[in-house]
Chain A
Amino acid sequence: MATPGKRLKRLIAGQMLASRGLKTLGRPVAWVTSGAPVEPLLALGVIPFYPENHSAICAAKGMGAPLCQQAESMRYSRDLCSYFRVDLGSQVTGQSPFGVIPAPDLVVASNNICGTVQNWFRIIAQRHGVPFLFVDTPYSDNPPTRAEVEYVQTQLQELTQKVAGLTGRKFKESDLVRVEKNSLEALKLWAEILHFGAEKPAYFTSFDAFVYMYPIVTLRGTRWAVWFYKKLLQDIKDRRRHGQQSVPGERARVVWDNIAMWPVHKGLRKFFMQHNIALVTDTYTDAWRSDHLDPAKPFESMALSYTDIILNHGPMFRVNKLIAMVRDFKADGFILHSNRSCKRWSLGAYAVKKMVTKATGVPGLVIDGDMADPRAVSLDNIKHRLEPFFEMLTDE
């Protein structure tokens, strides 16, 4: 029987093969941000490609430094997002673990994850000479207002019309409803899977989630994602039935804030295992747990769903999220990744840490790193920071 890891590899290979094949047959390809409203695109038969996700995989495969350097040689500052630099480096050099990537016919971006993407994806559109379509999702410290949801909804309807016009494909609301049902089913399965981290001992950790999040990001809205998560859910249930906990001899439980450190992902996972520490949940993979989608109100619910996400809210939202996670997942501590490449997520980490500790009584630790540029991450330094923290957590 295939392991989830092998299934995922086959899924990715199949997705890329299908994308290239369909592109050859004339199907349009859209390069999109990870938080872009992909459902209208899928309803129109447009194939999405996710540069952020691609950058994460490049970084995990050890390709981060040379690709970043390529972008820097083009005058892009080393202080800019490393996902952007990896992506640009990959576009220029053609280097990718995926092989040939289908070129975009259009670019769709939304600022619900950060302000960086509107600059980054505009650069992609200019490089490829294709239209740049943008959905403005207002940032707010509070839940979205009625006016904000309406503003986004109007843009989603315009986006759908524009994409239909640009690609010559006909839009049918029934197709959008079908795609949203797929998205919703995958999101619910994903939420169910993530909740296994709340069990004590944990049967699913964030190190697993960082890997298996691929389909919820890039195949959301398709039956492939639903298929994958149904299988994964069954695997986890089987593991629990057989008592195969994620971290044998679990001694402490920790929550993670921010994007994974892809360049040192494996080393960090090993280090946590060696110390019998379970990373039980995280704010990163949790971002795809939204339950706002409602196929009965396809555009309105999509507008709310794509506006009301963690990265589109201020640090206080993160504070409340982390407090809830620490409590719900029975965590002994939490780690804030101060990620040089993700300012929106990282800024204010020290203040966030103080507030979460004050509310929960649980200690937190801020560690410096980067999501894709290995030159800004030192596994040794991180270990030096984590060791005493783990000792404190496991000190009985």
Chain B
Amino acid sequence: MHEIFLEIARDPIGYLQSWAKGSTRELALTFSGLFPLELLDAMGFHGVWLPPVLRNRYNRADTMLQVFMCSRARSFVDVVAGSELPVAAIGAVTDCDAKDVIPGVLHAGGCETPVVTLRMPIRVDTPAAVDFAVNGVRHWVAEAEHAFNRRLDPDLLAGACALRLRTRQRLSEMFQKLGTEVDPVFAYSAAVSAQVMEPEAFLHALDAAPWPKPDHKRRMIPVLMSGSELPNIKIIEDLAGLGALIVLDDTETGTRAASRPVQHPGCQDAETPPPPDLDGLLEAIGAGIVYKKHGPTKVSPAGNRIQGIVSAALDRGVQAAVLGLFKFCDPHAFEAPALIEQLKMAGIHSIVVETDKETGLLARERTRLQTLLEIVE
């Protein structure tokens, strides 16, 4: 039953193409873990946070975008512009420069799929930012109802909130046990699958069998995986092959997106959601986006992020850190030197793995990583 996760993680487009053939629901995409998929679900779509689909060429995106845009963003534009999926709607969200310009680029490039942007604050440290985020969600709903020509159903929203929250909670539980009780390849495959599968199907598959455990018979080095989104599952498989055991995650694919709360009674029980409270739910969704665990695109209370990572790394006995960066991802590239320095001061060596094309670890990076692991060992 769990095999499906690895299949999806390896080929999310293939999975979604098959899904679309057998479903009456239409597909709505987003490109960010900040975007609340429950909003799309509640409009009758199947909301999908499309994982990066790295390729060796981005032929369609390259007609609209320069190569110095991160491959995460280029891959999204490539999939949408190439009509590889029957996409009925796109929910965008403001975050970094690359993500901010995607809607405009799609529009200027002639994309006919309606795109509505959820405008979120960059600050996540003030009550005004929470108010702004709540307002942003309400505004998005009003705009999306018009642009997508659909109503957001309050009954569906309550159920979708509960299911999506349950999914994130289960992922959080899983990442808490990463490397100790849960195999990292399984955990990341499941996390990617949660982005593309319908939540009911995902939860059913997740609990269909015990979670695979890491191979404790092998001597492996405990490592931290940090970065934005996971470029592809091959990297995790390669790391495992080299003897690196991921015991701590700091990625949007893993713990960060999963940490988004929705503090509302309507979300606590997926089985029996209480009567709908649209306004309260939207407020809780907006506030949750601010309260979630963020990456370096946000202005949060000074120093908290890096200190938090280092402290968690020490608690988990991390001996080496892998900073997985998309080439041209500015927020993480800005943060990397300080993170490396702080980890080093804590006795943890780091390696930056920069990804652009469709590969796992390149030979050069494999060698560097092997060297690092040997030094640590």
B328 within 8 Å of A (CB atoms): yes
Task: Tell which of B31-39, B51-59, B329-337 binds the partner.
Answer: B329-337
- Cβ of B79 within 8 Å of any chain A Cβ, yes or no, is no
Q: 6 other contacts beyond A76-B334, A111-B122, with CB at 8 A cut-off?
A: A116-B330, A119-B330, A120-B334, A314-B103, A315-B108, A316-B107
Total interface residues in chain B, CB < 8 Å: 47
Whether a CB of chain B sits under 8 angstroms from the CB of A319 is yes
Q: Is the CB of B105 within 8 A of A347?
A: yes
Shortest beta-carbon distance, A276 to chain B, in Å?
Answer: 30
Complex alpha-carbon distance, A77 and B323, angstroms: 13
User: Of A120, A338, A351, which is within 8 A of B108 by CB?
Assistant: A351
**Mind listing 13 A-B residue pairs with CB under 8 Å?**
A76-B333, A76-B334, A81-B330, A115-B96, A119-B335, A126-B338, A136-B123, A315-B101, A315-B107, A340-B66, A347-B97, A347-B98, A350-B64
Distance between Cα atoms of A252 and B126 in the complex (Å): 52
Residues of A within 8 A of B131 (CB): 151
Give the most central of A120, A132, A151, A344: most B CB within 10 Å: A151
What 0/1 pattern do residues 104 to 141 of B give for CB contact below 8 A with A? 11011110000001011111001011011001000100
Interface string of B56-69 (1 = CB under 8 A from A): 00000001111011
Residue B243 at the A interface, CB < 8 A? no
Residue pair A148, B119 in contact (C-beta under 8 Å): yes
A118 to B100, CA, bound (A): 15
Chain B residues with CB below 8 A from A75, complex form: 336-337, 340
Interface centre among A80, A348, A354 (most CB of B within 10 A): A348
Contacts of A145 in B (CB 8 A): 139
Segment of B202-210, B275-283, B294-302 engaged in the interface with chain A: B294-302
Shortest beta-carbon distance, A32 to chain B, in Å?
16
Alpha-carbon distance between A354 and B109 when the two chains are bound, in angstroms? 8
A139 within 8 A of B: yes
* Interchain CB contact under 8 A, B108 and A80: no
A-facing mask of B332-353, CB < 8 A → 1, else 0?
0111111010000000000000
| Size bin of chain A's contact surface | 35 or more
Residues of A within 8 A of B117 (CB): 140-141
- Is A382 located at the chain interface by the 8 A CB criterion? no
CA gap between A315 and B115 in the complex, in Å = 14
Asked if A355 CB lies within 8 Å of chain B CBs, one says yes
In the complex, B195 has a CB within 8 A of chain A: no
Q: CA A261 – CA B223 in complex, angstroms? A: 43
Shortest C-beta distance, A122 to chain B (Å), equals 8
Interface residues of A (CB under 8 A from B): 74-77, 79-81, 111, 114-116, 118-120, 122-123, 126, 132, 134, 136, 138-141, 145, 147-148, 151, 154-155, 158, 314-317, 319, 338, 340, 343-344, 346-352, 354-355
Question: Quick one: closest A residue to B62, CB to CB?
Answer: A350
Contacts A119-B330, A136-B129 given: A347-B65 contact, CB under 8 Å? yes
Partner of A348, one of B65, B94, B129: B65
B238-267 interface (Cβ within 8 A of A): none
Q: Is the CB of A115 within 8 A of B297?
A: yes
Note all chain A residues with C-beta closer than 8 A to B335. Answer: 119
Smallest CB-CB A-B distances: 6 pairs: A314-B104, A119-B334, A351-B108, A315-B104, A75-B337, A348-B105
| B327 interface residue per 8 A CB criterion | yes
List A contacts of B108 (CB < 8 A).
315-316, 319, 348, 351-352, 354-355
Given A115-B97, A119-B335, A134-B299, also A79-B128 (CB < 8 A): no
**Which of A75, A315, A319 has the most chain B CB within a 10 Å cutoff?**
A315
B342 → chain A closest CB, angstroms:
11
Q: A103–B334 Cα gap in the complex (Å)?
A: 22
Closest chain-B Cβ to A342's Cβ sits at a distance in Å of: 9
